[in-house]
Each structure stands twice: as structure tokens, then as C-alpha cells.
Amino acid sequence: MGIDIPTREGFVELSQQRNDGSVSLYLGSGAGDSSPPIGRDSDVARLALRSAATAALAQLTKIDLDSAERQKISESLESLDNDRDFWETPARSIAVFVSPENMRAFRLRNELPNHTAVGDRFDIGPLLRATSFTHSGYVLAVTEGDVRLLALHPDASIHLVDLPNLPADVAETLETTDTDGRFDRRRATGALGPKVEQRRYCSAVQDAVLDRIGDSALPLVLAASSDLEAAYREVNSYRGLLEHGIAANPSSLSASDLEKRGREAVKKHFDDELASWRESFGTMRANGHASSQLTDVARAASAGLVDTLLFDLASVEEGSIDESGAVTFAAEPSPTTYGLVDEIAVRVLRTGGTVRAVRLEDLPDDKPVAAIFRGAL
């Protein structure tokens, strides 16, 4: 999949743009439909874009946006409709942000519901939640003759990641010969030979893996024989490699087996992380350095005091937050309101904090936000 994941700076840039004609469009494949909306059936996806664009332009007419400004937005959306490269790349959802000044479009592997919003700022909440809800990762299966990298997605799908930079003869680094051709059997040379060759082999595998996943920090679950596992961990430089891998030789495991065991390892990793965070939260709250009260967290985020924020990925509470962090709750959405937890998350990102979308049951006190502060509020 050709996936576009905004950087922290990208989120901040989108969140800071202000224009009465700010349009946010989210297009997904629909509930229960696992086929990507673009790539396999781009005509249907483009038709959905046109329909959403028509609805958004009608809303812009109601708020009396200048006709020249509306025309710029219409032309930008039309140019996206005609972008063949964009529509030929498989993805499960797309997010489009367009105003008279510019347009940004993202292809996502998450399944997002269709959504159209018009207001004085972009509605980046669904995009932020989709890219910060991190119940995803990778499984790397390594044997002497086979290397498989599986990507685990939050929507319960998987795909096999191609490793084009893995040398075709990489397995030969595990063996050398000193028989002068008298025998076909190969064996390692010297007492340290096998370990050196295993590390060399694992280094080549890791280089090919990092070329594809970069420094994403998503958890990587290792499945390898005991000797290759030790060698891979010795050469590893990927910060997301989990301490505990899959305790089975991957040659005996199918892709579905690897997925099941990989998801179990990733879930345990996140559960342990959350448990540790909640323990720290309790300690910090006793000292006045943490809170689960939305109004307190909003003030702390506005003052740049939030170090880490966890927020409910399903929260839909709307309102507004002024520059000092004072919250005004709204009875229903309007062009002048926005998702409160989304706005808090964006303010945390702007000031260098860490944000993470979780389920409500993972949060303390069943509140939509919980934050650890850098100092006393």
C-alpha cells in the first residue's frame, strides 16, 4: 500500500491553518467492505470524492464564502480527481484537506468512515486518531533459507512486505567451504565461523528490513531459530524490536500462525506499556503533576505543560478552547466548533509532547483524556 503518514510537523501545520473555507473529506471503503477504496476500484472512489466535494461546496455556499474562493477549492479537488498516480495506489481510506490556499491528501491503511466537515480549520481528528492508535506492528520471520516480513494493521488485516534489497544469495553468507570441491557439503570454517556468518546474514536481513520500515518505531516481533535470534538481536539497531519474540521456528508456521502470535506479542507489549503508564500517572497525579479532568488538561496543553497525553479515540465531544485553555462545550457540532480532545492533542503536539489514541477502557477514571505534566499546573 502507498501509505501517507503525516509527521508531527505535518499535523501541526495542518492544525494551524485558518480559513473560513477549510474543507476536510474522509472517504473509506464502507462498513464490512475489506477491499481498498482506491487502487482496485478507483472509479468508485473517485465518484465518492466528487459526491463529497459537491456536498462540501454546497455548505460553502451557505456560509457565503466568496465565489472565487469556492472556485479555487473546486479546482483543487478536480485536480486530485484527475491525479492518476494517487488513485492507482491501494489504500483503505483517504483524507483530503483543501482550502483556497492549498490542498493535502493522504492515503491510509486504516478503515475510516466517510465524513465531510467545513469550518474555519481542518478537522484532522480522524487522521490523528488513525495514525496514533498504534495496535499495529511487524513480524519478521527469519530462517536460513527464508525471510518473511508481515505488516500487522489495526483493522485486523495483514500483508507481506516485499524486501527488494535482500540479496538473492544472502543465505550463502551462512556457509563457506574448504573442501576444494571434493565434496558438495558446506560447513563453517573455525570455531567462531558460524557466529560470524550468522551475524553477517542477520545484518543483511536487517538492512533490507530497515529499507522498508525505516525508523517507524512500530513494534517488531522476531520469529527465528534460537541461534539466528541471538545473532539478529546482537546486530539489531531498530528501536521497536520487542524483547520477547515468537518462541517457535518460523519454518513450521504459516502466515496466519505468525499473525496470531505476532498480534498476541504486540498486544502484550501495549498492555504492559499502558499498565506502566497508568502507574506513573497515579504517582504523578498524587503530586499534582497529572490529571484526567478535561478542563485541567486543556489548560495544561495550552500552556505547553503536557508531556504525555492519552485520549479516547472514540470521543466526539465538541466545543471550543481559547488560547488560555478555557473550554466551552457545545450541544452539537457547528462550523465554529471542533472535537475537544482532538484540539487538546494538537496543542500537545505543537509543544513537543507525545500523544496516543487509546480505547476508553484503557484510560484512568473512564475520562476521555489523561495527561502527565512537565510541572505542576
Sequence-ordered strand ranges (E) for 253-336 = 290-291, 306-312, 318-321, 327-329
- Higher-scoring residue by pLDDT: 12, 179: 12
- Residue 365 Rama label (left phi>0; alpha psi -120 to 50; beta): left
CA-CA distance, 101 to 59, in Å (whole number)? 18
Assigned C-alpha cell, 194: 558460524
Instruction: Look at the block and give the residue holding cell 470524492.
Output: 49
Please report which confidence band the pLDDT of residue 283 belongs to, taking 50, 70 and 90 as the band edges.
Answer: very high
Per DSSP, the three-state class of 354 is: strand
pLDDT of residue 2: 52
Q: What are 52-105's pLDDT values in tens digits?
A: 999 999 999 888 888 999 999 999 999 999 998 888 877 888 999 999 999 999
Residue percentage of the chain with pLDDT more than 90: 55
- Higher-scoring residue by pLDDT: 2, 309: 309
DSSP 187-238: ---STTHHHHHHHHHHHHHHHHHHHHHTT----EEEEE-HHHHHHHHHH---
Please report which confidence band the pLDDT of residue 36 belongs to, taking 50, 70 and 90 as the band edges.
Answer: low
| CA distances for 182 relative to 87, 176, 178, 179, 226, angstroms | 57, 14, 9, 6, 31
DSSP-derived letter for residue 172 is: G
CA-CA distance, 111 to 56, in Å (whole number)? 21
CA-CA distance, 110 to 235, in Å (whole number)? 32
CA-CA distance, 206 to 228, in Å (whole number)? 12
Please report which confidence band the pLDDT of residue 8 belongs to, taking 50, 70 and 90 as the band edges.
Answer: confident
Q: What are 130-161's pLDDT values in tens digits?
A: 777 767 889 999 998 789 999 887 766 778 88
Per DSSP, the three-state class of 184 is: coil
- pLDDT of 202 over the 90 cut: yes
Supply the mean pLDDT for the chain: 86
CA-CA distance, 142 to 148, in Å (whole number)? 7
Phi, psi of 308, deg, nearest 5: -140, 130
Structural domains of the chain, ranges and CATH numbers in brackets: 8-132 (3.30.960.10), 137-272 (3.30.420), 287-373 (3.30.1330.30)
Task: Please state at what angle helix 125-132 crosses helix 340-350, rounded to 10 degrees.
Answer: 70
Q: What are 244-278's pLDDT values in tens digits?
A: 999 888 988 999 999 999 999 999 999 999 999 99
Strand order of the β-sheet with 327-329 is 327-329, 318-321, 338-339
Closest by CA to 184, choosing from 193, 196, 192, 175, is 175
Residue type for 174, please?
A: L
- pLDDT of 338 over the 60 cut: yes
Phi, psi of 321, deg, nearest 5: -135, 125
Across 210-234, average pLDDT: 89
Per DSSP, the three-state class of 287 is: coil
Closest by CA to 324, choosing from 353, 358, 295, is 295
